Every structure is written in C-alpha cells, then in structure tokens.
Copies of this chain bind each other. A is one copy, B any other.
C-alpha cells in the first residue's frame, strides 16, 4: 500500500468515479491511476469498485470503508505538510477563507486590515459564496476556514466555532413614513413592499414564516443576494429594506434611516467552520482571535479535538456570545 495509491482512490471518488478526470486532476496519466488502483485492489484482496464493463459504477461497501480510512491518512499528510510550513517560517503562508457577501463586504475588511499589518507575508484568499457552498469548501479542505451564518448541522465534517450574534435591521429612505417610527411592528412593515435577501426565505426562521405566524400579508418587491443591491433599490423607493445589522455601519449610508429590528427578527449566529482534525497554523489562530476575541487558542483546540469523532457538525458554545 502506497500513499499515492490512497491519493488516487480519493481522487477517483472525488471525480464521480471517472479515472480519466481523476488523472487529470492529479496531473498524471490515466493508465497510471488505473493500474495503481488495480494493484491496490490486488493487495487488499477485494474490489474497491463495482464495474460495469470497464467503467466504474460505484464503490463497494469495502471500498467505502477503505476510502474513509484513506481520507484520514491523506488529511494527516496534509497536516504534516502544514507543520513543515509552520516550522520553516511561521510568518509566511496562505490563508484561504470562504465567506458570504455580508462578511466579506462589511465585517472582514477591518479584521483583514489588522491581520495584514500583523502578517504581511501571509497570502490571503477570499472566496465568496452561499453558506452551503462555503461549508462545502471547508469540508473538502479547499479553504482553511469558512465564515458564515446558519446551516448548522448540515456539515458533519466541520467544527463550527460561534463568533457573534446578530439580527436584521430595517432601512428606509429619510422621507419614508416608517422613518419616523421608533419601534416599527410587523404590522407596520406589512403595509409596505419589502426588499430583502433571497435566503431570508429559506429555513425555519424565514421572514415568510414570521409574517405568516402573525397572520399578516407580505409584499416582497425584490429579493437580492446582498445588502448593496438591497440598499440601491431602497434608495430608488422600491420598498423597505431588511438587511443584516452588520451592513449598516457608522458614518455610511447617511441618506438612509436604520431602524433597529432586534425586537422583530430572530437572532442569528455567525460561525467560523473548520474541517475536523485539521492542523491550524499559528496565524490562523491569530486571525480567529481578531475576528472573535473569545476564540482563544485553548478554546479552539478544545473544540477541534472534541469534534474528533462526531457524526454531525460540532458547535462549541461559549459562556456568552458577543453581539455584533
């Protein structure tokens, strides 16, 4: 059994059992992969794949078990590689973060500014996507961590570290009748067309559910994927905007009035998701501290260790989670 045989096995599994595609992804030849898999099957004494003619159709039960172990081995080889980078130069490396628009646009800039001052030699990579895409990227070890909200428990490979709580606010142009209210109610809102996030309509804490539970009608004028678009259309008078409170920052958007929505909308928690069992570079711990000061190295290590064997995403619950 060779490491690269396990690597080939994983690559084939990750490429819909297409050996050619796997070989391309591995940067090697297709016959090589084919042969090494055969050799591995021969050494183990059983088939890893079911075959129809020459094509692979699926993993055998035994193959799934082997793949599971192989992945752990490959994870650890990557961790050793990271160790090597860490001990060579702990101030140099790369940090890949997958995150949502809201984080990337409003929350992360301040953190990243400080991080870059601290670690000028660390190359940063930001990937924007939906919560699901983000968690997926982290679970596949293609980014160092994911920063997102919601979707707990959907990703068994991840350990989720809660960072802060937040809520939605209401935004209107200064001239809008709602701008004069201190504490608008759902009923007030239901009298105006709404402009909000697409994903506010999925899940149990959806806006739709909220209005329905209150027996109120809801008129949605526009759904967008990010707060910038929402703000634009609120300015055009298309309706009342509902955005994450992080999107409204001191000194910006002076033409809009922000009304606190914490009494109307449920709280959300933004977390950092790390693939279970992953080794973190020193600067990654420091990044977490900058993003969420309660995430000390001790706390993070403990959460990562505890998440070692569970079937669902692990959520570490601090004593008191700060509000944004």
Contacts and interface: CB of A to CB of B under 8 A. Distances in A.
Interface of A: 1-3, 43-46, 62, 65-66, 69-70, 72-73, 76-77, 79-81, 83-84, 87-88, 279, 305-310
B308 A80 contact: no
Q: Is chain A's interface secondary structure helix, strand, loop, or mixed overall?
A: helix
Q: How many copies of the shown chain assemble into the complex?
A: 2
A88 B309 CA distance: 27
Given A3-B2, A3-B3, A309-B306, A69 B83 contact: yes
Contacts of A79: 69
A66 B80 contact: yes
A207 to B, nearest CB: 39
Contacts of A65: 83, 87
Contacts of A84: 43-46
Q: Which 8 A-B pairs have CB atoms at the shortest separation, nearest pair first? A: A308-B309, A308-B308, A305-B309, A44-B84, A62-B87, A45-B88, A46-B87, A73-B76
Contacts of A46: 84, 87-88
Contacts of A76: 69-70, 72-73, 76
B80 A45 contact: no
18 contacts: A1-B81, A43-B84, A44-B80, A44-B87, A45-B88, A46-B84, A46-B87, A66-B80, A69-B76, A69-B80, A69-B83, A70-B76, A70-B80, A72-B72, A72-B76, A73-B73, A73-B76, A73-B77
A62 B83 contact: yes
Of the candidates A43, A73, A306, the one having the most CB atoms from chain B within 10 angstroms of its own CB is A73
Given A1-B77, A69-B79, 9 more contacts: A44-B80, A44-B83, A45-B87, A66-B83, A69-B76, A72-B72, A73-B76, A305-B309, A305-B310
A48 to B, nearest CB: 10
A86 to B, nearest CB: 8
A4 to B, nearest CB: 9
A1 B45 contact: no
A308 B309 CA distance: 6
